[in-house]
């Protein structure tokens, strides 16, 4: 199939400053599990070695775990989604302070009471050989490219958090009057939890229950495409039985009630135009990892 027409030649590529976020433990109710027990698990911020796109999200004992290094805005407070968070798109290249490529944006976390409750993080997929030489507080630059991206022949659909390079890699095709997207799972709107009501560019929308997955009954993987049937994310994220929202798995589960696997929204629109289709063999998480690791990564100097 020929590539869908879009306006990528008109959108701006912007260098946005960030830093690798420190590991954080939050003393609020997010640390209390369904049985009222206190749980302090890693997963928020820092550099997570051996965690990559294509890996099962439930493989580790962690809380809101993200792949690779978690970064945040260099100037904004952790609870405030600044320019880096609002402009970064999945598939964007990330460089270190010396300008060397170290990774690719692979997901976002946040959207829970912006300006009040941290964090607003961006995940960066990278080889372990690069991650081992990085440290929290290292400065990074995201080549933000994708905000304003539009499918010129499908203006009923709204894109977000999606770079042109990742759009090209997505398993989608035009059939009759619809755009069909292969996904690992389709979820009913009733399992959408934390992240409802937030801007589609901020963080993620979390899956509160895994049992009602339609399609692949196995574990989801980082980077997998999933669809929320009945969620409209054209403005913010809310229930609309006529719409569907498709995104990529950005972080793992949480023991906190009402929280779960996070999905960064990439595409949304009326069900009459946008059709998710189950293809559990597509393994887009693994494909995303191959895409990011095909880049010629530079190895940063330790302690730069």
Alpha-carbon distance of 48 to 8, in angstroms, equals 32
Please check the confidence at residue 162 and state whether its pLDDT lies above 60.
yes
CA–CA gap between residue 145 and residue 167 (Å, rounded): 12
Beta bridge partners of residue 151, listed in sequence order:
6
pTM for the predicted model, two decimal places: 0.89
What's the pLDDT score for residue 79?
72
For residue 84, what pLDDT is reported? 95
User: Does the structure show a pLDDT above 90 at 6?
Assistant: yes
Residue ranges of domains in the chain: 12-145+289-293, 158-284
CA separation for the pair 14, 268 (Å, rounded):
24
Alpha-helical (H) ranges within 21-143 are: 83-87, 128-131
Task: Please give the backbone phi and psi of residue 190, each rounded to the nearest 5 degrees, phi first.
Answer: -65, -15
Token pair recorded at residue 69 = 């290094």
| CA distance linking residue 242 with residue 60, whole number of Å | 36
Class at the top of the CATH hierarchy for domain 158-284: mainly beta
d(CA 224, CA 96): 27
Neighbours of 116 (CB within 10 A): 8
First-to-last C-alpha distance (Å) of the chain: 45
DSSP H or E segment with residue 284: helix 284-293
Nearest to 47 by CA among 108, 120, 134: 134
pLDDT at residue 117, rounded to an integer: 65
Q: What are 214's two structure tokens?
A: 């339609």
The CATH number of 12-145+289-293 is 2.40.10.170
- pLDDT, position 215: 54
With CA atoms as reference, report the closest residue to 214 among 249, 181, 250, 184.
184
16 with 87: CB under 8 angstroms? Answer: yes
pLDDT tens digits for 197-250? Answer: 889 999 999 998 766 555 554 578 999 999 999 999 999 999 999 999 999 999
Q: Which is more confidently placed, 168 or 25? A: 168
3-state secondary structure of 29: helix
Give whole-number Cα distances, 53 to 187, 206, 290, in Å.
Answer: 21, 18, 9
pLDDT tens-digit profile of 71-103?
A: 999 887 777 888 999 999 999 999 999 999 999
> Residue 29 above 70 pLDDT?
no
pLDDT of amino acid 304? 44
Q: What is the overall mean pLDDT for the chain?
A: 86
């Amino acid at each position: 199939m020929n590539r869908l027409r879009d306006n990528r030649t008109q959108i701006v590529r912007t260098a946005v400053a960030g830093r690798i976020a420190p590991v954080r433990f939050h003393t609020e109710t997010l640390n209390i599990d369904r049985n009222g027990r206190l749980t302090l698990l890693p997963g928020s911020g820092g550099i997570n070695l051996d965690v990559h796109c294509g890996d099962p999200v439930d493989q580790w004992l962690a809380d809101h775990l993200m792949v690779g290094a978690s970064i945040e805005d260099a100037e904004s407070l952790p609870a405030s989604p600044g320019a880096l968070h609002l402009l970064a798109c999945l598939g964007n290249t990330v460089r270190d302070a010396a300008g060397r490529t170290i990774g690719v944006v692979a997901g976002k976390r946040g959207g829970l009471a912006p300006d009040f409750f941290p964090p607003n993080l961006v995940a960066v997929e990278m080889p372990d050989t690069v991650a081992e030489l990085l440290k929290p507080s290292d400065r990074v630059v995201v080549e933000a490219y994708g905000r304003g991206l539009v499918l010129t022949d499908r203006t009923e659909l709204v894109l977000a958090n999606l770079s042109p390079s990742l759009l090209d890699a997505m398993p989608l095709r035009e059939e009759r009057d619809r755009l069909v997207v292969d996904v690992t799972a389709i979820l009913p709107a009733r399992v959408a939890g934390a992240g409802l009501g937030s801007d589609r560019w901020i963080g993620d929308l979390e899956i509160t229950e895994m049992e009602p997955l339609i399609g692949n009954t196995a574990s989801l993987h980082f980077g997998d495409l999933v669809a929320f049937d009945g969620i409209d994310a054209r403005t913010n994220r809310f229930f609309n039985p006529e719409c569907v929202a498709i995104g990529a798995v950005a972080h793992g589960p949480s023991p906190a009630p009402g929280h779960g696997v996070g999905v960064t929204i990439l595409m949304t629109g009326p069900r009459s135009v946008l059709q998710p289709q189950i293809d559990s063999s597509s393994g887009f998480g693994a494909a995303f990892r191959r895409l990011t690791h095909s880049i010629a990564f530079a190895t940063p100097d330790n302690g730069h």
